[in-house]
Copies of this chain bind each other. A is one copy, B any other.
Amino acid sequence: MGGLVQLKERIWNKRRQAKQTKLDIVSEYTDGVVIPTAQIVTVLEKLISSGDKVILEGNNQKQADFLSRSLVQVNPEILHDLHMIMPSVGRTEHLDLFEKGIAKKIDFAYAGTQSLRISQLLEDGLLEIGAIHTYAELYARLMVDLIPNVVLSAGFMADRKGNIYTGSSTEDTPALIEPAAFSDGIVIVQVNELVDDVSELPRVDIPASWVDFVVVADKPFYIEPLFTRDPKHIKPVHILMAMMAIKGIYVKHNVQSLNHGIGFNTTAIELILPTYGESLGLKGKICKNWTLNPHPTLIPAIESGWVESVFCFGSELGMEKYVAARPDIFFTGKDGSMRSNRMMSQMAGQYAIDMFIGATLQIDADGHSSTVTKGRLAGFGGAPNLGHDPRGRRHATPAWLDMRQISTDETATYLARGKKLVVQMVETFQDGGKATFVNRLDAIDVAKKAGMPVAPIMIYGDDVTHLLTEEGIAYLYKARSLQERQEMIAAVAGVTSIGLNHNSATTQRLREEGLVVFPEDLGIRRTDATRELLAAKNIADLVDWSDGLYEPPAKFRSW
C-alpha cells in the first residue's frame, strides 16, 4: 500500500505551521489578540507573505479602510504580488496597492467608482484579473479554489479575546471570515472600539474562536449611504411606470416576496404603495416580504402596514434607530440592533422571492442587458444572482407558477417549471439623451479589450420575464420564439433604434394577444401619474413618517 509510505513523509498541516510561525513572530508587537494601532503596518508585513491570497473587506457599504490604508503603506520590497480578493473595490487605496506593486492579481465582484481605473491598470499591465464575479460566486469560491491566507475585515467593537460586534453592518463579514478561520488563515478585524470583556459587547456576531487579531482603527470605518434615494428627484414618468408595475405585474401575478433595485423607478413604487396601492385596495395582498437594504423610501409603506418583513443585505446610514424601533419588520438581535448578512440575503434573494425588479444601462434587441459601458469594468455585484431564473428551485408560489407554460398535454404541464419574475424597468432614454436600447452592448467590446472570454452581461435576455418602460410592459415570459421576444421588446422601446424597428401592425397584434400592454390597456391615464401620488416628496417627509427616527446623512439634508 503506497499510501502508508507517503503518509509518513508528507506534512499535512503546512498552513497551520506557517500560521503559527507568523503568530510567534508578531507576538512581540501585539498585546494578545490586540494589535496596537501604531504597529499595524509592521504587523501586516510580518503576517502576510508575498503571493498570499488576501481578502480585503470592501463591501457595498462598509469598508475596512484603516486596514486598506495601512496595507498600502507596507514596503513593496517586503510584500508584493498579493492576490487580492474583494467583494467591492471602492476606494482609491484599493488600486494604489497595484500601482505600488504590493498587489498583482484581483478577484472581485463590483467596482463602481473605481471601474475606469481598473481598466486602465489592466491595460498598463499593473493589474491582472482572476475573474469578475457576483457576490455569491465570490463567497462560494473562498471554500473551493480561492481559499484565503489572510482576511482584513471590519466591525464596530471587539473585546480583548477577539469577539466581534459588527452592529447593523454585518454585511459580508461572516462570509469572508469563516473560510479563512477554518483553513488556518489569519483573520484581522479593525474595530472602532475595544472593550475589555465580552459582557461589554452589545452582542457577538463573530466568535473570538474565528479571529486572530483585532486592531482599533484611527477613525471609525467608512460607510456609504448607497441606497438612499431622495424622493425629490422622482419624475412623473417614474410614477407612471410605478403604476404600471403595480397593476400590470405585482397584482397580475400575485407577487408576495421581492427585491427592489436602487433606481428612482423602484423608489417610486415604494412611495406610491401607501397612496395609489391603497386606493386599489391592495394592502396586505401584495409585496409583503422583502429582501432589501433598509431603504429610507420604504418607510411610508412600512408605517402604513404594507410590509411584513425585510431581510437586509447590508445596512443604510441613518436608518439605525428606525430599524431598531421596528423589530417585527427588520432582523435585529437581542441587543436591539440589526444584523444584516449579504451571503444569506443573496441566498434568500435567489431562492425565496417571487420577483426581482431593477434597472440597467443598456439593453439589446434580444433583451440582454449590462451596466458595463465603454471602458468601465464595473463588475456584477448581486444583480445576476437575484436577476436570473434559479433553475435549482423546486418549491412553488402563485407568482412563480404563473410563469409556467400550461400545455394541453397534462404530463407536459407537470414537467413544466415556474420561473422567478425578473423585471427590467427602464426609461427608453436616460438623462443626457442616452438611449437605453442599443444595437450592440458596450459590454462586448469591453470583454474583447480586457481579454474576457464572455461578455459581462448583467441579465441575459432569456432570464427577463418582463420589460417595463414608459411605453408599456412586454410580457417576455410569454414569447414563443426569439423573434417574438424581439418584437415585444421593440414594441416598448420607444424611439430608440431598437424601438424604431417595431411594426405597428405587429405591436397591435401583440397588444391584442396580451403579450404587450400599454398604460391605457391597464386603465392607467398618463395624466394621473403626478408627484402628488408620492407618500413622501423629499427626505424631510421621510423623517416625518419615521417620527424622527430616520436620521439622514448631512448630504441629504436640505433644511
Q: Which residues of A contact B (CB under 8 A)?
A: 1-4, 6-7, 10-16, 131-134, 136-137, 139-141, 143-145, 147, 163, 175, 178-179, 181-184, 198, 203-210, 256-257, 274, 288-289, 291, 299-300, 303-305, 309, 311, 325-329, 331-335, 338-339, 341, 343-345, 347-348, 350-353, 366, 368, 380, 384-396, 401, 404, 411, 414-418, 440, 444, 447-448, 452-457, 460, 463, 535, 541, 544-545, 547
- Inter-subunit contact B368/A541 (CB<8 Å): no
CA distance A393 to B141 in the complex (A): 12
Task: Return chain B residues, CB-CB under 8 Å to A205.
Answer: 207, 209
Task: Return chain B residues, CB-CB under 8 Å to A418.
Answer: 454
Task: Return chain B residues, CB-CB under 8 Å to A7.
Answer: 303, 547
* Cross-interface CB contact of A396 among B6, B309, B454, B541, cutoff 8 Å: B454
Q: Which of A3, A288, A333 has the most CB of B within 10 A?
A: A3
Known: A12-B326, A309-B147, A368-B415. A347 touches B394 (CB 8 A): no
- Inter-subunit contact A140/B388 (CB<8 Å): no
Could you tell me the distance in whole angstroms from the C-beta of A495 to the nearest C-beta in chain B?
Answer: 24
Could you tell me the distance in whole angstroms from the C-beta of A366 to the nearest C-beta in chain B?
Answer: 8
* Cross-interface CB contact of A414 among B204, B416, B447, cutoff 8 Å: B447
- Inter-subunit contact B143/A345 (CB<8 Å): yes
Known: A3-B303, A14-B328, A414-B454. A392 touches B385 (CB 8 A): yes
Task: Return chain B residues, CB-CB under 8 Å to A144.
Answer: 257, 289, 291, 309, 311, 348, 352-353
Q: Which 9 A-B pairs have the closest CB atoms?
A: A131-B395, A140-B352, A204-B207, A203-B209, A140-B351, A3-B303, A182-B331, A385-B392, A143-B311
CA distance A134 to B393 in the complex (A): 7
Task: Return chain B residues, CB-CB under 8 Å to A133.
Answer: 394-395
Question: Please, which residue of chain B has its CB at the minimum distance from the CB of A349?
Answer: B140
* Cross-interface CB contact of A453 among B207, B288, B401, cutoff 8 Å: B401
Task: Return chain B residues, CB-CB under 8 Å to A11.
Answer: 328
CA distance A209 to B181 in the complex (A): 20
- Inter-subunit contact A455/B415 (CB<8 Å): yes
Could you tell me the distance in whole angstroms from the C-beta of A371 to the nearest C-beta in chain B?
Answer: 12
Task: Return chain B residues, CB-CB under 8 Å to A396.
Answer: 131, 452-454
- Inter-subunit contact B140/A414 (CB<8 Å): no
Task: Return chain B residues, CB-CB under 8 Å to A333.
Answer: 181-182, 209-210
Known: A207-B204, A448-B414, A545-B1. A394 touches B184 (CB 8 A): no
- Inter-subunit contact B544/A4 (CB<8 Å): yes
Question: Please, which residue of chain B has its CB at the minimum distance from the CB of A329?
Answer: B12
- Inter-subunit contact A352/B141 (CB<8 Å): yes
Task: Return chain B residues, CB-CB under 8 Å to A339.
Answer: 178, 182
Could you tell me the distance in whole angstroms from the C-beta of A204 to the nearest C-beta in chain B?
Answer: 4
- Inter-subunit contact B347/A136 (CB<8 Å): yes
Known contacts A13-B327, A179-B331, A387-B392, then 8 further A-B pairs from the complex at CB < 8 Å, ordered by chain A residue: A1-B541, A12-B328, A178-B341, A203-B207, A380-B394, A384-B392, A384-B394, A415-B460
Known: A3-B304, A331-B182, A454-B416. A343 touches B350 (CB 8 A): no
CA distance A1 to B304 in the complex (A): 10
Task: Return chain B residues, CB-CB under 8 Å to A456.
Answer: 394
CA distance A144 to B397 in the complex (A): 13
CA distance A392 to B93 in the complex (A): 30
- Inter-subunit contact B141/A444 (CB<8 Å): no
14 contacts between A and B (CB under 8 A): A3-B304, A7-B303, A131-B394, A131-B396, A134-B393, A144-B257, A178-B344, A181-B333, A343-B344, A350-B392, A391-B460, A404-B454, A414-B444, A416-B454
Task: Return chain B residues, CB-CB under 8 Å to A391.
Answer: 388-391, 460, 463
Could you tell me the distance in whole angstroms from the C-beta of A292 to the nearest C-beta in chain B?
Answer: 11
Could you tell me the distance in whole angstroms from the C-beta of A8 to the nearest C-beta in chain B?
Answer: 8
Could you tell me the distance in whole angstroms from the C-beta of A504 to the nearest C-beta in chain B?
Answer: 29
Task: Return chain B residues, CB-CB under 8 Å to A16.
Answer: 327-328
Task: Return chain B residues, CB-CB under 8 Å to A15.
Answer: 327-328
- Inter-subunit contact A207/B163 (CB<8 Å): yes
Task: Return chain B residues, CB-CB under 8 Å to A411.
Answer: 440, 444
- Inter-subunit contact B145/A256 (CB<8 Å): yes
